[in-house]
């Protein structure tokens, strides 16, 4: 194994990826498997994660699919119990599951706001809390990687709920890192810019979406594979001295937002 491969290796580790049945989660699950990790694909749509797990196994990796609803505390507890039975525990947690909403602020309903908070913020808290409790009890280190967004770093129109929740998630990343000092558990985040996934592909076909792409520094939408380097950095020992960081992956989009 070359030095570079060794540095970014997750050989022998167990990685749990939420929302790994579609979009970024699929790319993350495959990337972690290629880096040597045993991957737990977790999401509500079981048929989707079973497909991803089967693809990983067919490619020579190791993976299982476990049903998970991060909006439900019992489901979160159960998925970690299952992970402990199958693999002995989880070394890497990737909090990728989330939802997005495009709507002007005056039109936002209470239940829409509450749902985004419960899934995107509280769900990540639930997963991270359960992970941290178990790692601390076992006297083991670990890595948490949250998937946030550049909308949590700057304002964009028509995503008031999503942007606010992602900003809170950026802060949660830092708070969790600070509270876990001394445990050997690190918490960092990736803040993607515009990437083509099934949640947003329709938007970039609209006139407003096309106008947004036209003003990007990159002049194009990102490919989810372009997130894999950042992910493997933060999951592996290559980032052993990185903690509480929020890493934008957006070709500089966040620095030119007005």
Q: Say whether 162 is catalytic.
A: yes
The answer to whether residue 197 scores a pLDDT higher than 80 is: no
Answer left, alpha or beta for residue 182, where phi above 0 means left and psi between -120 and 50 means alpha: left
The answer to whether residue 131 scores a pLDDT higher than 90 is: yes
The answer to which of 27-41, 143-157, 168-182, 232-246 has the lowest mean pLDDT is 143-157
DSSP string of 235-249, one letter each residue: HSGGGTT--S-EEEE
Cα–Cα distances (Å) from 182 to 136, 172, 189, 202, 225, in that order, read: 10, 18, 19, 44, 33
Sheet holding 185-192, edge to edge: 62-67, 38-43, 14-18, 92-95, 142-147, 185-192, 246-249
Q: What domains appear along the chain, each with residue ranges and CATH number?
A: 3-247 (3.40.50.720)
What is the greatest pairwise CA distance in the chain?
Answer: 56
- Give the model's pLDDT for residue 62: 98
Helix (H) or strand (E) holding 41: strand 38-43
pLDDT-based confidence at residue 142 (cuts at 50, 70, 90):
very high
Give the chain's mean pLDDT. 92
pLDDT-based confidence at residue 257 (cuts at 50, 70, 90):
low
Mean pLDDT of 201-216: 78
Mean pLDDT of 173-197: 94
- Give the model's pLDDT for residue 217: 83
Answer left, alpha or beta for residue 242, where phi above 0 means left and psi between -120 and 50 means alpha: beta
- Give the model's pLDDT for residue 151: 85
Catalytic residue among 3, 87, 162, 203: 162
For residues 251 and 110, the model is more confident at 110
Tell me how many degrees the CA angle 187-176-124 measures, rounded to the nearest 5.
Answer: 80
Burial state string for 58-76 with b = 16 or more CB within 10 A and e = fewer than 16? eeebebbbbebbbbeeebb
| Residue 148, token pair as written in the block | 């946030």
d(CA 196, CA 224): 7
Q: Quick one: three-class SS letters along 166-202?
A: HHHHHHHHHHHHHHCCCCCEEEEEEEECCECCCCCCC
Q: What is the reported pTM? A: 0.93
């Amino acid at each position: 194994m070359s030095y570079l491969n060794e540095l970014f290796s997750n050989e022998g580790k167990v990685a749990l990826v939420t929302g790994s049945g579609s979009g970024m989660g699929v790319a993350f699950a495959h990337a972690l498997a290629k880096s040597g990790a045993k991957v737990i694909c977790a999401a509500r749509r079981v048929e989707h994660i079973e497909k991803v797990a089967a693809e990983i196994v067919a490619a020579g990796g190791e993976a299982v699919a476990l049903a998970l609803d991060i909006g439900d505390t019992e489901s979160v507890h159960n998925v970690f119990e299952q992970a402990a039975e199958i693999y002995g525990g989880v070394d890497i947690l990737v909090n990728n599951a989330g939802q997005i909403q495009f709507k002007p602020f005056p039109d936002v309903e209470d239940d829409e706001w509450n749902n985004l908070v419960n899934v995107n913020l509280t769900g990540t808290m639930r997963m991270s809390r359960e992970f941290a409790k178990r790692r601390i009890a076992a006297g083991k280190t670990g890595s948490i990687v949250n998937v946030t967004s550049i909308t949590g770093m700057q304002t964009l129109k028509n995503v008031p709920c999503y942007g606010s929740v992602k900003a809170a998630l950026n802060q949660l990343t830092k708070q969790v890192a600070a509270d876990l000092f001394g445990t050997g558990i690190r918490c960092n985040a990736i803040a993607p810019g515009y990437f083509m996934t099934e949640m947003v592909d329709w938007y970039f076909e609209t006139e407003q979406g096309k106008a947004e792409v036209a003003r990007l520094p990159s002049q194009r939408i990102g490919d989810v594979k372009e997130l894999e380097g950042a992910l493997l950095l933060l999951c592996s020992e290559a980032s052993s001295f990185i903690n509480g960081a929020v890493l934008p992956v957006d070709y500089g989009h966040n620095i030119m937002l007005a």
